[in-house]
Amino acid sequence: MAKQDLLHRFLFEQHSVRGEMISVDDTFERILENHDYPAAVKGLLGELLVATSLLTATLKFDGDITVQIQGDGPVKLAVINGNNLQQMRGVARIDGPVVAGSTLKQMVGNGFIVITITPTQGERYQGIVAIEGDSIEESIDAYFRQSEQLPTRLFIRVGEVDGKATAGGMLLQVLPAADETSHDIFDHLVQLTATIKGQELSTLDVKEVLHRLYHEEDVTLYDPQTVEFRCTCSRERCESTLATLPKEDVKDILQKDGKIDMECEFCGSHYVFIESDIQGLNNELNQQLH
Ligand SMILES: [Zn+2]
């Protein structure tokens, strides 16, 4: 039986190193279900989903993280957005053929990963790193090496088990108070963690995974957190967008189609506005301005 999508946090008691383990097969499936992506793009979104979930779990405050790929290849954009409640959504925009077995470079061309951290209160932070090697994992490792942050490693596993797409991963991070010896230990723990297989993340209980990887270590496991697909779109958000569009353009669409049909590219929800809705919006806007 498939496992529920969960995030597990753990701590190596003898060392100043923390860890995370996630398995997000259902969330992955929900992100893909309203779209018809080529297999290679599905894999890319899976890798981004795992990265976003693991990174969001390191937040010390309420907020969200967007991990976005931009390039000049056929995959123009691939993005996953997730918040501290582990609610995830994502989408890819493709313009041109993506052949089976395409590498990251072939899909994205000259590309970048943009990581945007948006606290609910406080200032937004953005980090950009060129795509390196042939996986999201390698590029994000480069991001952590470049930025002066705590040593952090991600392990991303996306694949298929019994014909079903699977996505899971792990993260290790040195704690702020760590001394020099922790860094050697960290390298050792990284080597152990690198042996994790996607099938193990997808099918095994967390305790079994931790025992297999770190049976000589004293590991404390914390209560899990649910990971789920959840889109944050709403009629109100569409109204705000409509209010920013040139009035003439809105009028043209209304005259031509009799309505404005806005589709959320993340979840496929439709929000329909007719002329009287738009008039109401304009009145509200005018009131705000005067
Ligand atoms: Zn939506």
- Of 48-52, 157-161, 195-199, 214-218, minimum mean pLDDT range: 157-161
Question: Where residue 198 falls among pLDDT bands split at 50, 70, 90?
Answer: very high
Written as one letter, the residue type at 126 is: Q
CA of 232 to the centre of ligand 1 (A): 6
CA of 214 to the centre of ligand 1 (A): 40
Can you tell me the distance from the alpha carbon of 106 to that of 74, in angstroms, rounded to the nearest whole number? Answer: 8
Rounded to whole angstroms, what are the CA distances from 66 to 31, 73, 107, 141, 249?
Answer: 15, 21, 20, 17, 30
pLDDT at site 262 = 93
CA of 107 to the centre of ligand 1 (A): 25
Can you tell me the distance from the alpha carbon of 156 to that of 167, in angstroms, rounded to the nearest whole number? Answer: 8
Closest by CA position to 280, among listed 232, 237, 242: 242
- Check if the beta carbon of residue 139 is closer than 8 Å to that of residue 133: yes
191: CB partners within 8 A, 6+ apart: none
3-state secondary structure (DSSP) of residue 100: coil
pLDDT at site 1 = 45
Written as one letter, the residue type at 93 is: R
pLDDT at site 287 = 62
Can you tell me the distance from the alpha carbon of 66 to that of 89, in angstroms, rounded to the nearest whole number? Answer: 10
Can you tell me the distance from the alpha carbon of 193 to that of 198, in angstroms, rounded to the nearest whole number? Answer: 12
Indicate if the pLDDT at residue 286 is higher than 80. Answer: no
pLDDT at site 182 = 78
pLDDT at site 212 = 97
Can you tell me the distance from the alpha carbon of 28 to that of 52, in angstroms, rounded to the nearest whole number? Answer: 12
Query: What is the average per-residue pLDDT within 110-118?
Result: 95
CA of 206 to the centre of ligand 1 (A): 31
Indicate if the pLDDT at residue 218 is higher than 90. Answer: yes
Question: First vs last Cα of the chain: how many Å apart?
Answer: 59
Question: Where residue 144 falls among pLDDT bands split at 50, 70, 90?
Answer: confident
The pLDDT tens digits for 19-28 are: 999 999 999 9
In this structure, which residues have their CB less than 5 angstroms from ion ligand 1? 231, 233, 264, 266-267, 269
The pLDDT tens digits for 60-97 are: 999 999 999 999 999 999 999 999 999 999 999 999 99
The residue among 277 and 205 whose pLDDT is bigger is 205
Query: What is the average per-residue pLDDT within 41-57?
Result: 97
Residue with tokens 């990971």: 227
CA of 81 to the centre of ligand 1 (A): 12
Residue with tokens 């979930």: 53
pTM: 0.90
